[in-house]
Structure 1
Amino acid sequence: MATRYIRNTAILAKIESTYGTDSTPTEGANALLVSNVSINPLSAANVDRDLVRPYMGASEQLVGPANIELSFDIELSGAGAAGTAAAYGPLLRACGFAETLSASVRAEYNLVTPVADSVSIYYFSDGVKHIAKGCRGTLSLKMSAGGRPVLSFKFLGLDGGVTAASPSALTLTGFKTPAVISEPNTGDLTFGATYTAATPTLTGGTGYPSQGIELDLGNAVNYTPLLGGESVDISQRQVTGKILLDLTAAQEVTFMASVKANTQQSLGLMHGTTAGYKVMIFMPAAQLINPSKSEVNGKLMIGYDIRALPSSGNDELKIVVH
């Protein structure tokens, strides 16, 4: 018997022009550079027949409405040239971001309501090809000191069938090698800054030493098996996160006052030093809650949970590639 390997996996994704209609992604134009992959190829609400007979024993289950669940990680990096769309841009769009390109300056990803975009995903698993259509999802972001900047995606999709197939050679040149989250590569977490799109930069504010940031987009992603119109929809989002800061005693007291006053302030992080390989995370109205204390190599660190709130609407989280 031939051995099959989990690492012999390839994933393609392409924006759909019509929801739920296979957009036929290709290895040359739509391949993804991924890690930490997983698939549930048939997440079904099975129906138990529960038959009564003159003897004990189980009844068969009927396969009910079913969808596909997929998850994978992608490195958060620049596109190689300022103003160029990120290779993972279609995935962000299917999670509720709109992509806006400013030539030679930036690619900006801003939240939208409602979420109209979707992707078709081909998941090759060592000789087997799973097709998921109408995919929408959510993501978490991890930019922790000493690690890679990573986007962790989770998608639901409509079952598009399964066949025995293997991918041809993948083109992955759109994915650039990220810089490690470190002092030379990454700025301080900055509170109270203003986002300047033309540059793009964070202007003003106060920076604090930290261990980075973790965020969860918090999309409510639901599969609805309507007769004649099954779909995957995003019905709500709540962006949350957490940080760990190195604060002086006076700074901790000031932050505690802000927590008690329900203060909202901007929060941003710049990563990268070379044009075309930079990424910015910005929240205009972040609320810190649930203060805690932690020990890191003997140092006292102060932690907070984050609630990223809309300021004028659809702006609670911005990702800028530049």
Structure 2
Amino acid sequence: MADEISMNTAVVFNQLESTYGVSPGAMTASQAVLIKSMTAVPLTGNRVERDLVKPYFGANPGKLTAQRGTMQFTVEATGAGETALDAGTPPAFGRLLRQSVMSETMRAPAATIAASPPTGVGGPTGTFTYAAGDPYEGIVDRLVTLLCTTGGGSGTAEFTVSAPAIAHLAAYEATEQVMTDATDFDLVHGATITPTVGTAFEVGDSYTIQLSAPGAFYTPESDTIESGESFFQYGPNRHQFLGQRGNVTINAAADGYFDLQFDFMGLPGTFSSEAIPTVDFSAFQDPLIVDNDNSPYVALGGVEIVLRSFNLNVGQNIVMRSLVGQKKVRATDRAASGTIVFEAPGLDDADYFANLRTGATLAFELIHGLLRGEIVHLTCPQLEITGLQYQDEEGVAMFSANITALPSDAGNDELTLAIK
């Protein structure tokens, strides 16, 4: 008799589909997913009984319709690593977010400096164009201002380069920077431009240049909805899902990890007995603990808060549609909601009860990680507080807030999860 199957040797492999419900082909070791806390149901559905009339008591036979499989697991959210960031490569878990009705936008280092010419402020006299030089190496977007302090042309004009404080970063200022044609001109966080001066500058001429952090950016989607193929395996028992789509819940708690909890549904494919495949988890970076040392900024309504936990269920409504002519896992709606637990501030610092009373929305922002390649940056521009109460934690007054993340009129922007 074969040995019992261990529940501690499970593996999950995943890849994106190009055609719904069609396997792109055999998976390689690098398509293994580093997971924790997995549960799975290989086959479920709706049992339809035959409701027979018989001359005796007893259960009726039936058959399973709308057959589907489900799988839930957690992946640690981390940066993609500096090498991947420089190469414009998404994080290893990015494909899972895409199958959770999220779009992926990649911003390579070469695209971190706004295109020439700069934006003039108040109608400056001088003109210049530039080519982007060294890329911006910051982890949050910054608007840089160039203010002319000594007039003249190339090699003479001097500028003060500044950027206001943002998130946890202090204001930046560098003075007496000379602008010379075909010579690197420093901005901030390593970014440079190579200018060409047109009309000479006058004192007071002012210009702005937008710097944008590189990385992978994930936002909710409503139209172009991708799907994937997965298999999970306990011991030799392999179970394949096709046409997989799902939902994700974002969890960040103090002294824990920044986790993404996925809940997938798919069409049951082949069930087979296979050797445990080789895995390659090298694309998954080691996570950082969510704490004061590693998570430098969290704010609600522009006010920094002391966070205990944040939870946001993106709320994708995933259903199995089983009809004559079509069988498909579909996303039909979305409503993102969750909770925030944080130390209660004084009402003169932030009156969140006023927001609860009026329904006025608040921006939420959480930066986790300190260095490029390890950053997880979550923003929710319009959080509505739907419930708020005090709770005691070791004698400290805490707020427990129920929240809903709302989209703007543009849609598909109730949250952005940026991996930088």
TM-score of Structure 1 vs Structure 2, range by shorter chain: over 0.9
Name the CA distance, whole Å, in 2 between partners of 1:283 and 1:133: 32
Name the CA distance, whole Å, in 1 between partners of 2:331 and 2:61: 33
C-alpha deviations, 1:91-138, integer Å up to 9, x for none?
A: 100111111111132111122212420010111121111110000000
2:413 partner amino acid: D
Number of residue-to-residue matches in the alignment: 310
Aligned to 2:230: 121
Cα distance change on mapping 1:286 and 1:294 into 2, 3 Å: same
Aligned to 2:396: 299
Name the CA distance, whole Å, in 2 between partners of 1:118 and 1:163: 22
Cα distance change on mapping 1:191 and 1:25 into 2, 3 Å: farther
2:107 partner amino acid: S
Cα distance change on mapping 1:88 and 1:99 into 2, 3 Å: same
1:12 partner amino acid: F
Paired residues of 1:68 and 1:157 also in contact (CA < 8 A): yes
Structure of greater Rg = 2
Aligned to 1:321: 419
**2:340 equivalent among 230, 240, 243:** 243
Unaligned regions of 5+ residues in structure 1, if any?
193-204
Unaligned regions of 5+ residues in structure 2, if any?
110-213
Aligned to 2:196: none
Aligned to 2:16: 15
Structure 1 residue matching 2:323: 3-state secondary structure: coil
2:216 is the counterpart of 1:107: yes
Structure 2 residue matching 1:90: 3-state secondary structure: helix
**2:306 equivalent among 189, 203, 209:** 209
Name the CA distance, whole Å, in 2 between partners of 1:37 and 1:19: 25
Q: Bigger CA drift: 141-150 or 206-215?
A: 206-215
Please report how far the alpha carbon of residue 168 of structure 1 lies from its aligned counterpart in structure 2 after TM superposition.
2.0
2:39 partner amino acid: S
Paired residues of 1:14 and 1:25 also in contact (CA < 8 A): no
Please report how far the alpha carbon of residue 166 of structure 1 lies from its aligned counterpart in structure 2 after TM superposition.
2.6
TM-score normalized with structure 1 length: 0.92
Name the CA distance, whole Å, in 2 between partners of 1:127 and 1:228: 34
Map 1:173-192 to 2 at 5 A: 173-192=282-301
1:87 partner amino acid: A
**2:242 equivalent among 121, 133, 137:** 133
Paired residues of 1:79 and 1:174 also in contact (CA < 8 A): yes
2:325 is the counterpart of 1:228: yes
Name the CA distance, whole Å, in 2 between partners of 1:130 and 1:156: 13
TM-score normalized with structure 2 length: 0.71
Name the CA distance, whole Å, in 1 between partners of 2:93 and 2:260: 9
Q: Bigger CA drift: 144-153 or 76-85?
A: 76-85
Paired residues of 1:36 and 1:73 also in contact (CA < 8 A): yes
Aligned to 2:252: 143
Map 1:186-201 to 2 at 5 A: 186-192=295-301
Map 1:9-158 to 2 at 5 A: 9-24=10-25, 26-81=27-82, 82=85, 83-104=88-109, 105-158=214-267
Q: Bigger CA drift: 108-117 or 123-132?
A: 108-117
Give aligned-pair identity as a percent.
26
Paired residues of 2:341 and 2:399 also in contact (CA < 8 A): yes
Name the CA distance, whole Å, in 1 between partners of 2:55 and 2:349: 71
